[in-house]
Structure 1
C-alpha cells in the first residue's frame, strides 16, 4: 500500500465545512484511499479473519473463520496492532489533519481502531444492524468528550447495504440514555430516547464511495441498518482523540481496554506509543 507520508491538502475541510461540522456533528471527506489501496486493505482484512497476524501480536476480540458465526457483524478492536497495512489506515496523516481541523485541535492521536465487516444477506436473510449510540458512552475513561471517529469506507455504502446514519445536532445534546452498539431494535431505542426539549430526532444516511471517510463527534448519535445486498459492507472505524484528552478513573469507564493501560494515571494525558500521533501542528 502506498504510504500517505504527506497530507492530501485537497481533502482537508474548508472553514465552511468546519462550520457544518460544528453545527451538525458530522462531515464526509472526498476520496482519500485509491482503488488499488483499497484492494490491498481488503486483502489484509481477510487475513485477520484467518488469524494471520503479520506482527504476531493479536488484536482484541477478533472474528475468526470456522470458529465464529458467519452471519454476525465482525468487529475487531485494534487491528493496527496486528497488521502493518491496516495500521497505515488507522494512522493516516490526512485523516489526522482533517480530524484536527474539525476538532479545532493542535494534535490528534489514535484512541483505537475497529475493523468492521457487515456480511451480505446470504440465503435471503438481512443481517447486522448497529444500534443507535454515542461513542462517548463507551469512552467514559476520557475526562471530556474530546474525541472524533473517522469511518473509512472500504466499499461503496448506501441504505441498501447498511450505511451509517447520523442524527444532526445530537452532539450538542450531551450524553443521553442511548448507547447500545449491538441493539437490533432501533425503533424501540428511538421511542425511549430522552432528547432535549425543542430538538427533533432526524436521521441522515451517509452515502459514500469506497475510499471516502466520514467523521463524527464522540457525542453524535449514529447507527446503521441491515445489509440487504449480497456483498459484504467493509470498513474501519478509526477512533481519534485530541492531544488534550486525559484519563479519568471512574467505575463507569474503567472497563475499556485503553483504561487498563492507564491505571494509576488519573488526570494524565493519553500519550506515548500506545496512542500514535496522526497529526501535530507545526510550531
Structure 2
C-alpha cells in the first residue's frame, strides 16, 4: 500500500477537509516570481527543469509537450500542474500558436522549515488536468493578475487566499474528471437557475426560459428535470419558499408582507405552498425562528 492509500479518498468530505486545512495553514500556497498571460511567439519552445510548482494553463492554440518522459497533447483547457524536479519540453503549431496563463508558487512552511516541494503528495493535483470549466479558472487567474498589477500592504495576504482558491478549483475539476465529484450542472440550466435565485418574486414562463437556453420547451423541461431533479415549476416554487423562510426568520416583515413581496396575489396560496414545503404554517415558522 502506498502513501496515498493511507489517506482518505478525495471522494470523501474528510479528504477535502484535510486539503482545506492544509491550504489555509501549514501548506498555504505562496506565489513566487513568474506569472503571466502570454501569446507564444511563432518559434516558441520550452525546456525546463522546475525548481518550484507551476500552474501552466492552455487558453488557446495547439501544441505538444513531453513531461517527465510522457507525451501530452496541448489544447485549450489543458492545465499542467508542474512540481519541483519535473522536466518539461514543449512546442506548438505556429499556425495555431498557444496562448497560456501561468503562475509559479510554492507550498513552503516557513514556520517549520519546509521547502517548495514539502506539501504532502496526496494533497497535490494530478500533473495533467483536463478542465471542464476553463472560464472559472480564467476568472481566478485574472483575479491574481489584478492583485499583481496593484500591489499594496494587502497584496501578500490576498494573493495567498486567491491562489488557494484557484488550486482548490483545479482540484475540484480534476476530481470531477475522475468521477470523484458530481459533474457540473449544464451551463444553460445553471444560468436559468441563477436567474430564478436572484429574482424569486418574478414569474418566468417555461417558454421564455427555454428560449433563453436556445431550446424548445420540451427539450428544456426534460433537461431541467435531469439537472435539478425537479420540474421547472416546482423549482420556481421551491426557490420562492426558500426566500420566504429567510425573510420570515431574519426580517421584521409580517407573513402578508412576505407573501406580497414574493409576488403572491393570493396569500392563501402562499400559505399552502409554504406548508407543503416546510410542514409548518408561515406564521408558526416566524414565531419559532
Asked if these proteins are the same fold (TM beyond 0.5), I'd say no
TM-score class normalised by the smaller sequence: under 0.3
Q: With structure 1 as the length reference, what TM-score do the two structures score? A: 0.23
The structure with more radius of gyration: 2
Q: With structure 2 as the length reference, what TM-score do the two structures score? A: 0.22
Q: Which has the higher helix share?
A: 2
